[in-house]
A = this chain, B = another copy of it.
C-alpha cells in the first residue's frame, strides 16, 4: 500500500521533539490495533497487505496499512496479534431466514413441493412463535459469528425477535417482516402484517446496527395489492425491498401463466425493481431480465447451496457479473442448506459455476471473495459502511487461523479463502469495532444455552411429527 511520505516525516519529527519516556505521547489513542497477518482488504484493487496493521477507533477503521506504520502512529487499549493469520472484512450473508435453524435437517432429499407441504410448512405451523424465533435466532447468530459472518439480511415472521437477538449479540442485521397472503403466522390479516412491518421500521430506522427492510415474500406468495403496499412502505422510508425472485422454473411458469410475463418483469411492472431492491435467488433469469435488473440498479443475492440442494438450478452469475450487476451471496435458511456457513457458499459457488459453464476461469477466487463481502454490502446498500477494510468504514473484521495442516502452503490468500478455509477456521470476529468472538470464544452470546434451548424445540417438534 502506498502511503504519503509526509506522514512518516511528521511522525519522525514529532517523536524527535518529545522527551524520552513519553514516546506514547506522539501516538494517537485508538481502541484496537490488529497487528500482523495477511490483510485481504477487498478494496477496489483487491489489495493484499503482508504483515499489515489495522487501527479501529470509535467503531470505525481509521488506518489500514503496514503493521510498522500502525504501531508507530497509534496506541490502543486493545491489541490483537494476527501473525500467520488472514485478516479480512466480515462476511455478508445477503439472504437468509435465520430462525429456521430449528428445522436444520428436518427433512432432506425430497421433491420441493413434498418437502414444503409434508414437512416444512406443518413444522412451521407448530414451531413459529415469538419465543422460538428469539431462541433460534440466538443460536443462528452464534453459528454465524463463529463462522465469520458479521452482517445478515433476514426475512421471517416475528422479525422483531430476530432484531432483538441481533442487537443483543452486537451483530449487524437487515431485518424484514415477511409479507404473505392470506396472512402470516404472527398476524391476523394483511393490515396487521403491514403494521408490524412499519413498527419494525420505526423502531430501528436510526439504529447503528439494525437496518429495517420491507420484505414481500415473492411475486407468487402474496396478493399484488399487498406487494404494492409493501413497495410503497419501502419507498416511504427508503428501506431495502427484499424479495424472493425467480427461484425455480415452477415459479416462472406460475407468474407467466398469471400475468403473461416473467417474475422480474412482473415485479418491475408494479414498481418493485429499483436501486433498493434485493432480488433473492434469480436462478431462472434470462439475458433480458439481467439487463432489466441492471437498468433499474437492483441487486441479486444468490444462495448456491440451497439452490443446488432443492435442484432449482444454478443462477447465471458470470453473466450477471459481466453485465455489471451488484451480486452478493447468502445461505438461505438452514432447512435447505443445512447450515449458515458462508465459506461453504464461496467454495460451492466457485466450483459449480465452473462445472456448469465448462469454463474453469469463471467465478475466480477474487470475484467470489468480493461477492461474499463487498458484493453483499452493495446489494444491501451498505457499501459506504461495510464490505471492505478501508479507512472510514465501520470495523467489521474477521481473523482466520491458519495453524492446521490443510493451510500449508498458502500461495495466494483469495484462492485459499475460497478453496481451503472453512467457517471453523475463524478465530476472532469484530463487529462495529466490538470484539464479539476472541480466539474461538463467543463473547456476546451464551452458545451453550442457545444450543440447549433449540435442542428442546427440536425434541418437541420430533414428538409431534406425523411419521414419528
B341–A344 CB distance below 8 A: no
Question: For the complex, is A143 an interface residue (Cβ under 8 Å from B)?
Answer: yes
How far, in Å, is A51 (CB) from chain B's closest CB? 16
Question: For the complex, is A355 an interface residue (Cβ under 8 Å from B)?
Answer: yes
In the complex where A348-B348, A405-B142, A406-B339 touch, is A108 in contact with B355 (Cβ < 8 A)?
no
A348: chain B residues within 8 A (beta carbon): 347-348, 351
A261: chain B residues within 8 A (beta carbon): none
| Chain A positions 337 through 375: 1 when the CB is less than 8 Å from some CB of chain B, otherwise 0 | 111110010011011101111111101110000000000
| Chain A positions 415 through 434: 1 when the CB is less than 8 Å from some CB of chain B, otherwise 0 | 11001101111000000000
A112: chain B residues within 8 A (beta carbon): 360
Decide if the interface of chain A is mainly helix, strand, loop or mixed.
Answer: helix
B351–A105 CB distance below 8 A: no
How far, in Å, is A312 (CB) from chain B's closest CB? 8
Question: For the complex, is A447 an interface residue (Cβ under 8 Å from B)?
Answer: yes
Partner of A311, one of B359, B409, B419: B359
B105–A458 CB distance below 8 A: no
Question: For the complex, is A292 an interface residue (Cβ under 8 Å from B)?
Answer: no
Partner of A360, one of B311, B350, B361: B311
A104: chain B residues within 8 A (beta carbon): 408-411, 420
A147: chain B residues within 8 A (beta carbon): 406
A363: chain B residues within 8 A (beta carbon): 109
Question: For the complex, is A110 an interface residue (Cβ under 8 Å from B)?
Answer: yes
A355–B314 CB distance below 8 A: yes
| Chain A positions 392 through 405: 1 when the CB is less than 8 Å from some CB of chain B, otherwise 0 | 00000000000111
A111–B458 CB distance below 8 A: no
User: A32-40, A239-247, A449-457: which one contacts chain B?
Assistant: A449-457
Question: For the complex, is A159 an interface residue (Cβ under 8 Å from B)?
Answer: no
B105–A355 CB distance below 8 A: no
B420–A365 CB distance below 8 A: no
A361–B308 CB distance below 8 A: no
Complex CA distance for A358 and B405, rounded to whole angstroms: 37
In the complex where A105-B415, A111-B361, A412-B105 touch, is A339 in contact with B458 (Cβ < 8 A)?
no
Would you list which residues of chain A between 89 and 126 have a CB under 8 Å from chain B? 101-102, 104-106, 108-112, 115
- Known interface pairs A105-B410, A106-B411, A311-B358; 9 further A-B residue pairs with C-beta atoms within 8 A, sorted by A's residue number: A104-B410, A104-B411, A105-B411, A105-B416, A139-B405, A147-B406, A309-B354, A310-B360, A352-B355
Show the binding face of A for B, using Cβ within 8 Å. 101-102, 104-106, 108-112, 115, 139-140, 142-143, 146-147, 305, 307-314, 337-341, 344, 347-348, 350-352, 354-361, 363-365, 403-406, 408-412, 415-416, 419-420, 422-425, 447, 450-451, 454-455, 457-458, 462
